[in-house]
Each structure stands twice: as structure tokens, then as C-alpha cells.
Structure 1
Amino acid sequence: MFASATPFLTIGLLILSNVFMTFAWYGHLKFESKPLYLVIMVSWGIAFFEYCAQVPANRIGYGYFNAAQLKTIQEIITLSVFVIFSVLYLGEPIHWKQIVGFGFIALGSFFIFTK
């Protein structure tokens, strides 16, 4: 594999995995009338696909990124995917306090990637 493609492939797979995991963790909130055991089983099924993207992403990216950088990338992607999900899927408004909080987390990532 070309080293120049590594960050793009890693980040792409992390985005894909986070979309699946966000639906696995929070997608059932729109189906409150469904039995808990059913939403757990469906969530496990969705999470399988999350792992099918997450594990290769970390395997491919490790070496190009260190473990702390991989985790930081994953967390920034998780927050980004979650904001989009909560607004578009759950219909929840984003509040300025959430934006400020996410901004501080993003600022923290600056220190992880600074040499």
C-alpha cells in the first residue's frame, strides 16, 4: 500500500465505522416502543459492521499514526458524526455550549499532533 494513501484510508474507514457505531448506540432512540432485547440484538448486528471498519482502520493507520493520534482522530470523527446524526436523525438542535465543548476537545487534539 502507498504510504500517502494511509491517512485517507484510515480516516475514511474511521468515518464509516463511526457512522455504524452511532446508529448502533443511538439509532434505537427513535424506536422506544420496541422491546429492549430486540434493539440490543439489532445494535449488535450494526456494531459488527463498525468493527469491520474500525479494526482495519487502526491496523492500517498504526505506524503512520501513533495510538494516541489514532484515538484522537477517532474521537473527533465520533463527535462530528454524532452532531450530524443528532440534528438530522434525532431532530435535536445543537446548542452553543455543545459547540464550545466540542471545540475544546478539538483544541486538545492540537496538542496530540504537535511535535
Structure 2
Amino acid sequence: MPTTAIPFLTIGFLILSNVFMTFAWYGHLKFENKPLYLVILASWGIAFFEYCMQVPANRIGYGYFNAAQLKTIQEIITLSVFVIFSVLYLGETIHWKQIVGFAFIALGAFFIFTK
């Protein structure tokens, strides 16, 4: 595989992985009237597809990125996907304090990638 493709494949798989995981973890919040066992089973079913994306992302990306960098990429994508999900799917608003908190996390990511 060409080295130039690795970051794109890694990040692409991580984005897909996080979309699935966000729905697995938080999608059921709109279905409060459903029995807990049902939403647990549905969440596990969705999470299966998350793992089908997460494992290849880490396998492809490791070596090009170190483990700390892979985890940092994953966390930044998680927060980005979650913000979009919470606004569009859950109908929540983002407060300025959350934006500041996310900015501090992004600053931490900067230090992880700085040589």
C-alpha cells in the first residue's frame, strides 16, 4: 500500500467507526420508551460495525502513526462526530464552554503531533 494512502484510509475508517459508535452509545436516547434490553441489543449490533472499521483503521495506521497519535486522532474525530450528532440528531445546542473545552483538547493533540 502506498504510504501516502495510509493517513487517508486510517482517518476515513476512524470517521466511519465513530459514526457507528456514536449511534451505538447515544442513538437510543431518542427511544426512552423502549425496554433497556432492546436498546442494549441494538447498540451491540451497531457496535459490531464500529469494530469492523476501528480495527482496520488501527491496523493500517500503526507504524505510520504511533499508538498515541492514533488514539489522539480517534479522540478528535470522536468529539467532532459527537458535536454534529448532538446538534443534528439530538437537537442540542453547543455552549461556548464546550467549544473552549474542545479547543483545549485540540491543543493537546497539537503537542502529541509536534516533534
- State the TM-score, normalizing by the size of structure 2: 1.00
1:100 positional shift: 0.3
Counterpart residue identity of residue 53, structure 1: M
Point out where structure 1 has 5 or more consecutive residues left out of the alignment.
none
Aligned to 1:44: 44
Aligned to 2:81: 81
1:19 positional shift: 0.1
Is 1:19–2:12 an aligned residue pair? no
* Matched ranges for 1:31-70 at <5 A: 31-70=31-70
Aligned to 1:10: 10
* CA deviations over 1:60-90 (Å, ceiling 9, x no partner): 0000000000000000000000000000000
1:7 positional shift: 0.1
Point out where structure 2 has 5 or more consecutive residues left out of the alignment.
none
Note the aligned Cα RMSD (angstroms): 0.2
Aligned to 2:72: 72
Q: Give runs of ≥4 in structure 1 deviating > 3 Å.
A: none
Q: Percent identity?
A: 90
* CA deviations over 1:36-75 (Å, ceiling 9, x no partner): 0000000000000000000000000000000000000000
Counterpart residue identity of residue 98, structure 1: Q
- State the TM-score, normalizing by the size of structure 1: 1.00
Equivalent residues, number: 115
